[in-house]
Amino acid sequence: MTESLVCWHCGASIEELPLPLSRRAECPACNADLHVCLMCAFYDERAAQSCSEPVADEVKAKDKANFCGYFQPRAGAYAPGNDEAAARARAELEALFGLAPPPAQEGDESEEVRRAREELERLFPPPGDDTKGS
């Protein structure tokens, strides 16, 4: 292999782990399972069941340890995501369902957004807010 083996989840080197990776192998840095579809050379999102091995059994949880006998660790399996976008989306969902306050927006609101918010609050004042309206 020309590239070194790294954890699919955090990108930490796993070169020191013995090969073949056991079903219970975990990343020493983040404790993520390593015998997973996302770390396999046959993993292909464009293929049926996301696996290019034609006779492999389907594995539903691609990020959990499995018993697939066709597993081959893939160098370069780490694909850094946009964690900031994911965190913002999670915060917005939590705010939508009342689990957390809405996330802070970058910069100031545009004038149009500010006016729309004021109009909305004028039409539908928050509960217990007797100062708005009329």
Model confidence pLDDT, tens digit, residues 42-83:
999 898 899 999 999 999 999 999 999 999 999 888 877 756
Does the residue 57 lie in any domain?
yes
Does the residue 132 lie in any domain?
no
- In 3-state terms the chain splits into helix, strand, coil percentages (rounded to 5) of 25, 5, 70
Domain span at residue 29 reads: 1-80
Do 13 and 72 share a structural domain? yes
**Is residue 1 predicted with pLDDT exceeding 50?**
no
Pair 15, 2: CB distance under 8 Å? no
Does the residue 61 lie in any domain?
yes
Per-residue model confidence (pLDDT) at position 103: 57
Do 68 and 88 share a structural domain? no
Do 58 and 96 share a structural domain? no
Do 106 and 51 share a structural domain? no
Does the residue 131 lie in any domain?
no
